[in-house]
Structure 1
């Protein structure tokens, strides 16, 4: 018997079971925060590559061993209610992005998971130079700041990104084979825009319906979470992502 009627206390076996369950929960959360995580596609911004409801397995070890406390840096509330004393804290305990940085950088066309910047990056009024000309880009406040987003990495640090009639140019040359991942109803023009050092330019494959770097700016390197490698569910959608 696991419960004593006389003392009203839990017997040791019952206490051990509770601690075992808590241990499993903590282990699962650490695994999710550092190794692998599941990401469910909430919108159509990545059609045709990813559909609403697709379940992705994300490799969080791609860039390094993540600091599980880093999540507290992005949220102004704990459990959506309590004030978060670590929000944008300068403490290395939560500010540090990686416990172990592998030094790996995202490749062009990788599908990346990242934290939406809390404000336009690198600035709301971004000034840059192309061919000796000083240009400006104006970004808006990101929606759902601090949440996880999934987009395709298009521009690497130092690149000049441009859209002409919906076609992507990198450093003046059209990106090859973009029909494989681009939604074909995009006829937009954008840029040219220079990607600052330490940042990345991301786009949704379904660009007419995507909130991305064209609007709220670039993704800082320390906001990268991982790379999506395969669609796990539904079973008829299972495939490796390229």
Structure 2
């Protein structure tokens, strides 16, 4: 969606400058020429700019500093988020950032443990990804035998039974669903109990200042900090807080799930 953000900024600036130029210069010239040219019409580009600039400016402000919609493209956050979920992301939870550059200019807070965050991964800065914050600055995080160890203390897990997926998530049917007791934010995760050939990403990491350790809730189907490292604070985009629609195909294709509408992201 980076192309949309760039296009929105460019169009807003262009229409705003045309409107301002007309107000300060062009309109006065037309008024002065009224005695020479009867019924002098307002240029089309000025007319369109004056009409579209307020709308574009409002959309840009809301999308950049209030809330931005995103679509979940994969199963990496199952069972919390499903492929096809359309979510809203709080853009001011961690500070106000400029569009396109993502540079923070007002500091309003930092992620809490367990927050589901949207960010630009260091190795794919042109993309937006979503994961859960597991490790905060100063933490030591280990992952062994399908278990998170936080500052030397293994997290507790509650067995919830076999998971039954639907739609694109059917590939995870039969996986073990568990509740992970992450301090401050218990949440559900998925893990495969059968033999699985993927590298589980075991290891131990110390989280430095200005970085976070993030993981997907679908532990065997998530490319996260276990594989590519720690997330810099500067790459954060916002905090995911609401599912407002679910539609797996771009034209729904019979996969519209009304039960997902209005679900808070835990």
TM-score over 0.5 for the alignment?
A: yes
Greater alpha carbon shift after TM alignment, 147-156 vs 230-239: 230-239
Q: Does 1:59 align with 2:90?
A: yes
Which one of the candidate residues 27, 31, 38 is aligned to 2:69?
38
Tell me what 2:260 maps to: 237
Kindly state the Cα deviation for residue 189 of structure 1 after the two structures are TM-superposed: 6.0
**2:134 paired residue among 154, 179, 185:** 154
Structure 1 residues 189 and 21: alpha-carbon distance in aligned structure 2, compared to 1, 3 A threshold: closer
Contact (CA 8 Å) 2:191, 2:219: kept in 1 or not? no
Cα shift at 1:14 = 8.1
Q: Displaced runs of 4+ in structure 1, greater than 6 A?
A: none
* Cross-structure match for 1:116: 121
The 3 A distance-change label for structure 1 pair 20 and 105 is same
| Pair 1:194 & 2:218 matched | no
In 2, the alpha carbon distance for the partners of 1:205 and 1:68 equals 29
Q: For residues 154 and 10 of structure 1, what CA distance do their matches in structure 2 show?
A: 61
Q: Which has the higher helix share?
A: 2
Contact 1:57 / 1:229 at 8 angstroms: preserved in 2?
A: yes
Residue-pair matches, total: 186
Matches within 5 A, 1:74-223: 97-102=103-108, 104-117=109-122, 142=123, 144-176=124-156, 177-178=179-180, 180-185=187-192, 188=200, 190-223=202-235
Q: Is the 8 A contact 1:30 1:68 kept in 2?
A: no
- The 1:10/1:43 distance shift into structure 2, 3 A limit, reads farther
Residue 89 of structure 1 is matched in structure 2 by none
Q: Offset at 1:29?
A: 2.3
Quick check: 2:201–2:227 contact (8 Å CA) kept in 1?
no
Q: Distance in 2 between matches of 1:220 and 1:52?
A: 26
Q: 1:87 corresponds to which residue?
A: none
Q: Which runs of 5+ in 1 are unaligned?
A: 1-5, 72-96, 118-141
* Match in the other structure for 1:122: none
Larger Rg: 2
Q: Deviations over 1:142-184 (max 9, x none)?
A: 3x33311100000111111111221111011123441732112
Measured in 1, the distance between the counterparts of 2:80 and 2:232 equals 24
Match for residue 129 of structure 1? none
Cα separation, 1, equivalents of 2:135 and 2:145: 18
Query: Please, what TM-score do these two structures have when normalized by structure 1?
Result: 0.69
3-state SS of 2:191 partner: coil
Q: TM-score, normalised to structure 2's length?
A: 0.63
Contact 2:80–2:188 (CA<8 Å) still a contact in 1? yes
